[in-house]
Amino acid sequence: MWLSEEYLGSQTNDVSSRKTSVKKTNKKKTKKIKSSKAVASKKKLKRGKSTQKAVAQKTKSKRKNNVHKIHVILDSGHGGRDPGASAGSRKNKDIIYEDEVVYDISKRMSKLFKKQGIIVHPTLADPNQKQPIRYLSHRHDRDEHLLVTPRYLTRNARIGVNMRVYLVNHIFKQLRKKKVPSENILFISLHGDALHSSLSGAMVYYPDHRLRRGRFILSSKIYRKRKEYISKLTYNPRDNKYSEKLSKSFGKVIINQFRKLRLRTHRVSSAVRGYLYRKGIKTLPAVLRYSKVPTSVLVEIANLNNRLDRRDLLKSKTRQQIAKAITNSVTAHFDRSSGLVAQR
């Protein structure tokens, strides 16, 4: 349904259906309260009033959590045999691998999101590293896999990116089926830059609508055998423009949050971009170009080639601050765009 024109064509329908679903939830709530009160009053005889209060409160918080939550599809770039960028040297003890540093930050973000009641859908997992780590391993491990079914051990960078396109769009589709409003779903892809060593700090990419493509169709068996495979993904200009607007605004919030925490970013004018140049041609990272999630950004957390950035990234404190900046951006984004308010 998320692909069809009926849905994509009318935002108003989307809003009204959201309202009805909220009403429905409200009805359910009243029922729930009634029954929980009944249960509570029976228990009252045995345990007294305080229990009743506790039960009611528990029901209340449960209810609150059921109204459209915020969902973040969190993509940690590269992994497996594809380390992404790497810089520094063993001799200087500042060697750093992009996939390892962004994975650690993604783990930190997941923890912070959980505390805020935001639901995280990761795209990548390392079975041997479920928690953030204090010291980034100088050794590059290769056991990260993409959470498609069956799992894909990232052997090839290009396939890994295409696989992510299917995975991200699949998660989005599933959430839409559960009537989660599309504005409540965010896609964040984490990467590290490998620019000229004189440049430093974070920047954010959003999908400029002019760089989108009409369709995404791959027919190789490696994709077809995955549960997440979608035979034909199509994109229309109206959605692309809407997505650009939402994503750009979210990107600005992210850069602001970085600055707030005194983390380095590119200059104001160049820290939020709709495209990048590759061999002199404007282009977009594939995960942004083919994402169906209206709010989609790719965050370059820092420039690995810059000595100061590298030194900072090796400190767990900086990685924690970066994680904080990005997670705070999500709540700040929803506070700002109160028209699209989501309840946490």
Residue ranges binding Zn ion (CB under 5 A): 77, 84, 191
Q: Which is nearer to Zn ion, 145 or 191 (CB)?
A: 191
| Nearest partner of 323 among 75, 84, 77, 102, judged by Cα | 102
For residues 189 and 79, the answer to whether their CB atoms sit within 8 Å is no
DSSP characters over 197-221: TT--SBEEE---GGG--SEE----H
Please state, in angstroms and rounded to a whole number, the distance separating the CA atoms of residues 300 and 236.
Answer: 27
Q: Which is nearer to Zn ion, 247 or 303 (CB)?
A: 303
For residues 80 and 145, the answer to whether their CB atoms sit within 8 Å is yes
For residues 192 and 98, the answer to whether their CB atoms sit within 8 Å is yes
User: Where do we find the tokens 């004189």?
Assistant: 198
Provide the minimum distance between the beta carbon of 285 and Zn ion in the complex, in angstroms, as a whole number: 8
Minimal CB distance residue for Zn ion: 191
Give, in degrees to the nearest 5, the angle at Cα 337 between 335 and 341: 70
Provide the minimum distance between the beta carbon of 98 and Zn ion in the complex, in angstroms, as a whole number: 5
For residues 110 and 74, the answer to whether their CB atoms sit within 8 Å is yes
Residue type, 78: H
Please state, in angstroms and rounded to a whole number, the distance separating the CA atoms of residues 101 and 97.
Answer: 6
Provide the minimum distance between the beta carbon of 302 and Zn ion in the complex, in angstroms, as a whole number: 12
Beta strand 215-216 with 233-234: parallel, antiparallel or unpaired? antiparallel
Please state, in angstroms and rounded to a whole number, the distance separating the CA atoms of residues 83 and 78.
Answer: 6
Phi, psi of 73 (to 5 degrees): -90, 110
**CA-CA-CA-CA torsion sign (260, 332, 172, 290):** negative
Q: Which is nearer to Zn ion, 175 or 204 (CB)?
A: 204
Provide the minimum distance between the beta carbon of 109 and Zn ion in the complex, in angstroms, as a whole number: 17
| Nearest partner of 96 among 106, 85, 107, judged by Cα | 85
Token representation of residue 97: 């691998």
Q: Which is nearer to Zn ion, 82 or 183 (CB)?
A: 82
Provide the minimum distance between the beta carbon of 160 and Zn ion in the complex, in angstroms, as a whole number: 11
Q: Which is nearer to Zn ion, 77 or 181 (CB)?
A: 77
Q: Which is nearer to Zn ion, 118 or 161 (CB)?
A: 161
β-bridge partners, 125? 145
Provide the minimum distance between the beta carbon of 287 and Zn ion in the complex, in angstroms, as a whole number: 10
Name residues whose C-beta falls within 8 Å of residue 11's C-beta, 6 or more positions apart in sequence: 242
Provide the minimum distance between the beta carbon of 219 and Zn ion in the complex, in angstroms, as a whole number: 26
Q: Which is nearer to Zn ion, 191 or 333 (CB)?
A: 191
Provide the minimum distance between the beta carbon of 263 and Zn ion in the complex, in angstroms, as a whole number: 18
Provide the minimum distance between the beta carbon of 71 and Zn ion in the complex, in angstroms, as a whole number: 23
Q: Which is nearer to Zn ion, 83 or 132 (CB)?
A: 83
Q: Which is nearer to Zn ion, 110 or 303 (CB)?
A: 303
